[in-house]
Chain A
Amino acid sequence: MALHVPRAPGFYSMMKEGARHYAGMDEAVFRNIEACCQMSGMTSTCYGPVGMNKIVINHIGKHFITKDAATVLQELEVAHPAAKMLVLSSKQQEQEAGDGTNLCLMLAGFLLKEAESVLRMGLSPTEVVSGYEKALEMAQKMLEDQVVGQVSDVRDIAQVEPLIRCAVMSKQFGLHERLARLISEACISVLPQGGHFDVDRVRVCKVLGGSVDGSRLIGGMVFRRAAEGDVTQVIPESGRVKVAVFACPVDFLQTETKGTVLMETAAELANFSAEEERIMEAQVRSLAEAGARVVVSGGKVGELALHYLNHYNILALRVSSKFDLRRLATATGAIALPRLTTPTAEEMGSCSRVVTQEVGDTNVVVFEEDNCKISTVLLRASTENLLDDLERAVDDGVNAYKALTRNPRFVSGGGATEAALAVKLAAAAEAEPGLEQYAISRFANALDAVVKTLATNCCLNGAETLSKIHAELAAGRKHIGIFCDPDSGESAVANVSERGLSDLLLVKQWALRLACRSACTVLSVDEIIMSRPAGGPKPRGPGGDDDD
């Protein structure tokens, strides 16, 4: 180039124009901490049963009213690289434990905030990181001692329900009793003998209208779609309804290769339609003879096919989602056939009844099953937003059940575990000889901050409540936490395990681990280099990498 613009010497001279570079404690570490704290501060008001909701409007204008931290973060499309690390850790929490995302995020935020003060005191980030890791190790061991009990039988609703209730309580306080019962019943009913629990087996069907109390459990699958033909229900006098499931359209198949039907004589032309009708009738007749009373199609049900299905009194239903089709196949024990053939006895599924019900003003087709492999929670509520939030609560509850089947041990909830851990960690820190002492005591402070947030959200004075809890713990009482009474709405410091507040050990373990790891990762970054965004289409909004 003829006209060379001289550039400043140093780092920028070796990068392309537009690159950004931050280094050092002030520019990188503290900035990262600040960003993370701001983000976790936002979701911290959602924590606990009486936390507040957020309205989030995502980039396509969809509304969410929720206090589920995972959902809020996902729809926020966080762009800051350090804050994103926290988002990822809460996502991982969701995948591992299915619940406790907010705890994970908040704890990470508090850990970073506490780290800031020791960093300013002069400790190096590596010392803080190693201190935190040591604290985590101690905390995990102490957590084992906090175990209150365990569920001996995961099929016993009396044992399972309190735990599910606690998980749901933090999402839908006030409606948790009803939901917890539905979820526990649904989960227990689909737990296979000696097999693994599959969260996919509890389905949710949302129908607008009515009240949450109108929600109920249906054994089997529910489709929000009316039957295609004239037959709307099949109730056998005895025995079971045979179901044929096709993954393809129930119609004449179109050839992929371009082709024409070639006719050479008039007779061929005359017989063409008759032949088509004959083939289709033969097909449907053989289905009817094989005993099928219900035909489920993965695609269109052709008009001629429908004509004969009506003729042979067979219910036809179109299920457009492949996943739903597969679930239906599992529920009925059918094999989804890729072609329109007559299923053999093994390929044919069965269920107890197939009926059409009017829920609100929506017609749903229900495949009922007396001892089912899939059950559906039919949710009713008066707004779409509430329905969506209820669905998330159900998902959390089901995930909690899954975690329960993996590790049936539980600890006390309501901040009691965190408070007890904090006290023990603070004591252990003092016995520590090295510089790690500071970091460990800061870890304890961060746990205390979680309890404080919970207290503040429950309309209590944070500092006062925390000191009360500490005093009770020092007096040798156990399981002291914050109990929020669903009947009066008032909160108080109490023995929470007596009141039936318990959280799963697994959730706490993962939350501690992931929060500590992500905080350490953020701390150990001392330099951020962002290269100039590549040319090409402009990235869409902040984040911009979601694919929904």
Chain B
Amino acid sequence: MDKLIIDDRKKATISNDGATILKLLNVVHPAARILVDIAKSQDAQVGDGTTSVVILACEFLRQMKPFLEEGVHPRVVIHALRRGTQLALDRLDEIAVKIAKDDPAQVRSLLEKCATTALNSKLVAHQKEFFSKLVVDAVMLLDELLPLDMIGIKKVAGGALEDTRLVSGVAFKKTFSYAGFEMQPKKYANPKIALLNIELELRAERENAEVRVKSVEEYQKVVDTEWNILYDKLVTLHKAGVKIVLSKLPIGDVATQWCADRDMFCAGRVPEEDLRRTQKACGGRIHTTVVGLTDATLGTCELFEEVQIGADRYNLFTGCPRARTCTIVLRGGAEQFMEETERSLHDAIMIVRRARKNDSVVAGGGAIDMELSYHLRQHSRNVTSKQQLLIGAMAKAFELIPRQLCDNAGFDATFVLNKLRNRHANGDLWAGVDIQREDVADNFTACVWEPALVKANAIVAASEAACSMLSVDETVKNPASSSTLPNENKPVKPGRGMGRPC
């Protein structure tokens, strides 16, 4: 299920992403803040599995609690937890399936399956096939460093989720424009693109500059020069054969009109990340001066056009020579819904990125958790010390994930878990919960896959958090000083104290 959270600014967020929820909750309890931390860490390292890491950490603690109450020293428990973690990781390594990287078709299908598994737990689960293809396409377009900021996600309200499209190139919303803009052509094939960091507007050359003139003629000359400086820049661009001018800074009406007269397209105030993406896709450089424009520093693409998407107009650059970037134009109804979709896609993208970097996968849907649980339980039987019980308890904690899956799907968890335990005891490595049929199934053949890294990181983070919580025997809190952080307790209201209603 999803949670609806209203934060201190009365902004509503709908999410089932652990990290997002915990971030919004403003947890103050010192021990509970560790949980928020591990969710963040999972988000940073893997990008998905934030919910499972938190519930796993809690379950570790819950299972260990009876032992502590019976007087087992926390250090012994910590030791067992570390040992159990190591065992689980070794087992994970042992059974994870490596996928050959040389066959592109196989790699692609692997990535799609991982993305599908990640999306399964999200709001957009019923469109998971559609989105998993989209996400994999998006990631495949990137270069080997796979920088996340090279995938842009744009949200346009309206339309259906299926109207979401992937632009293999750059897309951004039409920027604010002046008169004359509508006279400019909106479609070019193979244009030269100049990316600028220059204000194309009549402006002071320098803020603290001053002009002192002695005669009217000189004054007129100064005025003309100001215009000429602007025209010179435009002429340089025009002479270099530039058809499209994009700038981070404003492009004024004079320049807009000038461009319109000469069959050029211009857009000012382009957001910086969009400009950088355009640069990655189309090549060229971002110019802070127009001196030294050459073909090498100008970008190009096969097709530029402006299209209407929903209520907004978008500038699309497609067929870029170095398509190391792409943009997902997300469509959907409510704003919150689209935000959640964006987060889900982010998670899926991260999973696919990780899967591309590390090629070993395990079966999801509780299969790997049951297998680890089984392995730990078997192992605990061979231990003679106190650790036998503790590792056994840890084994039980791993069952939580399939149990929670069943509970959330409305299945009888006890029944399904019994079956699962039996299947794993009979050596069925990848038996997991089958969400569709309320049963157990071999999730590996059912293609519910996730990268082994996700699981490994979740286990490590959960156990580190549990260990640090167990190792604390005393909490000391100093009174908060009032002078250093006056705004800590009262959130800053909008309107800067002018009493704007919020």
Residues of A within 8 A of B (CB): 42, 45, 50, 52-61, 63, 65, 67, 72, 75-77, 174, 208-213, 230, 259-267, 269-270, 272-274, 277, 303-304, 306-307, 310-311, 358, 360-362, 381-386, 459, 488-490, 540-542, 544
Residues of B contacting A212 in the complex (Cβ-Cβ under 8 angstroms): 464
Any A CB within 8 A of the CB of B38? yes
Instruction: Report the minimal beta-carbon distance from A362 to chain B, rounded to whole angstroms.
Output: 7
Contact A307 B478 (CB under 8 A): no
Residues of A contacting B214 in the complex (Cβ-Cβ under 8 angstroms): 264
Say whether, besides A260-B209, A264-B213, A304 and B40 are in contact (CB < 8 Å).
no
Instruction: Report the minimal beta-carbon distance from A174 to chain B, rounded to whole angstroms.
Output: 5
Query: Which stretch from B286-294, B325-333, B358-366 is at the chain A interface?
Result: B286-294
Any A CB within 8 A of the CB of B485? yes
Compute how far the CA of A45 lies from the CA of B473 in the bound complex, rounded to whole angstroms. Answer: 8
What are 19 contact pairs spanning A and B, CB under 8 A? A42-B474, A45-B474, A52-B75, A52-B472, A53-B473, A54-B475, A55-B472, A65-B468, A77-B478, A209-B45, A260-B208, A260-B210, A262-B211, A269-B226, A360-B44, A381-B41, A381-B464, A382-B41, A383-B464
From 442 to 497 in chain B, residues with beta carbon under 8 angstroms from any chain A beta carbon are 457, 460-461, 464-465, 467-468, 471-485, 488
Contact A262 B210 (CB under 8 A): yes
Contact B209 A272 (CB under 8 A): yes
User: For residue B223, which residue of chain A has the nearest CB?
Assistant: A266
Say whether, besides A63-B30, A540-B483, A174 and B225 are in contact (CB < 8 Å).
no
Contact A174 B34 (CB under 8 A): no
From 202 to 259 in chain B, residues with beta carbon under 8 angstroms from any chain A beta carbon are 205-206, 208-214, 218, 221-222, 224-226, 228-229
Compute how far the CA of A213 lies from the CA of B212 in the bound complex, rounded to whole angstroms. Answer: 68
Residues of A contacting B73 in the complex (Cβ-Cβ under 8 angstroms): 459
Contact B74 A60 (CB under 8 A): no
User: For residue B145, which residue of chain A has the nearest CB?
Assistant: A358
Any A CB within 8 A of the CB of B3? no
Say whether, besides A50-B75, A208-B40, A60 and B480 are in contact (CB < 8 Å).
yes
From 260 to 284 in chain B, residues with beta carbon under 8 angstroms from any chain A beta carbon are 279
Contact B44 A208 (CB under 8 A): yes
Contact A210 B457 (CB under 8 A): yes
Contact B79 A489 (CB under 8 A): yes
Say whether, besides A50-B75, A383-B468, A459-B76, A263 and B461 are in contact (CB < 8 Å).
no
Say whether, besides A307-B197, A307-B286, A358-B145, A52 and B480 are in contact (CB < 8 Å).
no
Residues of A contacting B297 in the complex (Cβ-Cβ under 8 angstroms): 311
Residues of B contacting A52 in the complex (Cβ-Cβ under 8 angstroms): 74-75, 471-474
Compute how far the CA of A295 lies from the CA of B38 in the bound complex, rounded to whole angstroms. Answer: 36
Any A CB within 8 A of the CB of B33? yes
Any A CB within 8 A of the CB of B300? no
Residues of B contacting A542 in the complex (Cβ-Cβ under 8 angstroms): 478-479
Contact A307 B468 (CB under 8 A): no
Compute how far the CA of A141 lies from the CA of B484 in the bound complex, rounded to whole angstroms. Answer: 49
Contact A60 B461 (CB under 8 A): no
Question: A interface, by DSSP: helix, strand, loop or mixed?
Answer: mixed
Compute how far the CA of A273 lies from the CA of B288 in the bound complex, rounded to whole angstroms. Answer: 11
Compute how far the CA of A490 lies from the CA of B73 in the bound complex, rounded to whole angstroms. Answer: 11
Instruction: Report the minimal beta-carbon distance from B475 to chain A, rounded to whole angstroms.
Output: 4
- Indicate which residue in B205, B213, B467, B482 contacts A273 across the interface (CB closer than 8 Å): B205
Instruction: Report the minimal beta-carbon distance from A358 to chain B, rounded to whole angstroms.
Output: 7
Instruction: Report the minimal beta-carbon distance from A263 to chain B, rounded to whole angstroms.
Output: 5
Contact B481 A60 (CB under 8 A): yes
Instruction: Report the minimal beta-carbon distance from A235 to chain B, rounded to whole angstroms.
Output: 14
- Indicate which residue in B82, B197, B208, B465 contacts A174 across the interface (CB closer than 8 Å): B82
Q: Which 10 A-B pairs have the closest CB atoms?
A: A209-B45, A489-B79, A382-B461, A266-B221, A307-B288, A52-B473, A211-B460, A383-B37, A261-B209, A209-B44
Say whether, besides A208-B40, A270-B228, A61 and B485 are in contact (CB < 8 Å).
yes
User: For residue B385, which residue of chain A has the nearest CB?
Assistant: A488
Interface residues on B, range: 35 or more
Residues of B contacting A274 in the complex (Cβ-Cβ under 8 angstroms): 291
User: For residue B477, which residue of chain A has the nearest CB?
Assistant: A57
Contact B474 A75 (CB under 8 A): no
Contact B481 A541 (CB under 8 A): yes
User: For residue A211, which residue of chain B has the nearest CB?
Assistant: B460
Residues of A contacting B45 in the complex (Cβ-Cβ under 8 angstroms): 209-210, 360-361
Contact B74 A361 (CB under 8 A): no
Contact A270 B225 (CB under 8 A): yes
- Indicate which residue in A59, A209, A311, A361 contacts B292 across the interface (CB closer than 8 Å): A311
Contact A55 B31 (CB under 8 A): yes
Type the 1/0 row for B148-168, where 1 means its CB is closer than 8 Å to any CB of A: 100000000000000000000
Contact A57 B30 (CB under 8 A): yes
User: For residue B46, which residue of chain A has the nearest CB?
Assistant: A209
Instruction: Report the minimal beta-carbon distance from A403 to chain B, rounded to whole angstroms.
Output: 27
Instruction: Report the minimal beta-carbon distance from B451 to chain A, rounded to whole angstroms.
Output: 14
Any A CB within 8 A of the CB of B413? no
Say whether, besides A45-B474, A54-B474, A65-B472, A303 and B288 are in contact (CB < 8 Å).
yes
Residues of B contacting A260 in the complex (Cβ-Cβ under 8 angstroms): 208-210
Contact A230 B285 (CB under 8 A): yes
Residues of B contacting A67 in the complex (Cβ-Cβ under 8 angstroms): 471
Given A54-B474, A59-B480: 6 more A-B contacts, CB < 8 Å = A57-B476, A209-B42, A209-B44, A264-B212, A306-B288, A386-B468
From 93 to 138 in chain B, residues with beta carbon under 8 angstroms from any chain A beta carbon are none
Compute how far the CA of A213 lies from the CA of B221 in the bound complex, rounded to whole angstroms. Answer: 70
Any A CB within 8 A of the CB of B61? no
Any A CB within 8 A of the CB of B142? no
Any A CB within 8 A of the CB of B78? yes
Compute how far the CA of A303 lies from the CA of B289 in the bound complex, rounded to whole angstroms. Answer: 10
- Most chain A CB neighbours (cut-off 10 Å) among B75, B82, B464: B75
Residues of B contacting A269 in the complex (Cβ-Cβ under 8 angstroms): 205, 211, 222, 225-226, 229
Contact A307 B287 (CB under 8 A): yes
Contact A277 B289 (CB under 8 A): yes
Compute how far the CA of A208 lies from the CA of B38 in the bound complex, rounded to whole angstroms. Answer: 9
User: For residue B221, which residue of chain A has the nearest CB?
Assistant: A266
Instruction: Report the minimal beta-carbon distance from B133 to chain A, rounded to whole angstroms.
Output: 24
Compute how far the CA of A153 lies from the CA of B214 in the bound complex, rounded to whole angstroms. Answer: 81
Compute how far the CA of A270 lies from the CA of B224 in the bound complex, rounded to whole angstroms. Answer: 10
Residues of B contacting A230 in the complex (Cβ-Cβ under 8 angstroms): 279, 285
- Indicate which residue in A57, A259, A385 contacts B208 across the interface (CB closer than 8 Å): A259
Compute how far the CA of A544 lies from the CA of B479 in the bound complex, rounded to whole angstroms. Answer: 11
Residues of A contacting B221 in the complex (Cβ-Cβ under 8 angstroms): 265-266
Contact A208 B472 (CB under 8 A): no
Say whether, besides A77-B478, A269-B222, A211 and B461 are in contact (CB < 8 Å).
yes
User: For residue B292, which residue of chain A has the nearest CB?
Assistant: A311
User: For residue B38, which residue of chain A has the nearest CB?
Assistant: A382
Residues of A contacting B211 in the complex (Cβ-Cβ under 8 angstroms): 262-264, 269
Instruction: Report the minimal beta-carbon distance from A11 to chain B, rounded to whole angstroms.
Output: 32
Residues of A contacting B286 in the complex (Cβ-Cβ under 8 angstroms): 307, 310
Instruction: Report the minimal beta-carbon distance from A28 to chain B, rounded to whole angstroms.
Output: 26
Say whether, besides A259-B208, A264-B213, A386-B464, A59 and B484 are in contact (CB < 8 Å).
yes
Compute how far the CA of A77 lies from the CA of B73 in the bound complex, rounded to whole angstroms. Answer: 30
Residues of A contacting B287 in the complex (Cβ-Cβ under 8 angstroms): 307
Compute how far the CA of A410 lies from the CA of B294 in the bound complex, rounded to whole angstroms. Answer: 69
User: For residue B37, which residue of chain A has the nearest CB?
Assistant: A383
Instruction: Report the minimal beta-carbon distance from B33 to chain A, rounded to whole angstroms.
Output: 6
Residues of B contacting A50 in the complex (Cβ-Cβ under 8 angstroms): 75
Compute how far the CA of A61 lies from the CA of B467 in the bound complex, rounded to whole angstroms. Answer: 22
Contact A261 B79 (CB under 8 A): no
Residues of B contacting A311 in the complex (Cβ-Cβ under 8 angstroms): 285, 292, 297
- Indicate which residue in A264, A272, A383, A386 contacts B205 across the interface (CB closer than 8 Å): A272
Instruction: Report the minimal beta-carbon distance from A107 to chain B, rounded to whole angstroms.
Output: 21
Residues of A contacting B78 in the complex (Cβ-Cβ under 8 angstroms): 174
Residues of B contacting A208 in the complex (Cβ-Cβ under 8 angstroms): 37, 40-41, 44
Say whether, besides A59-B481, A310-B285, A488-B385, A385 and B468 are in contact (CB < 8 Å).
yes
User: For residue B82, which residue of chain A has the nearest CB?
Assistant: A174
Contact A489 B209 (CB under 8 A): no
Compute how far the CA of A5 lies from the CA of B255 in the bound complex, rounded to whole angstroms. Answer: 84
- Indicate which residue in A59, A262, A361, A385 contacts B34 across the interface (CB closer than 8 Å): A385
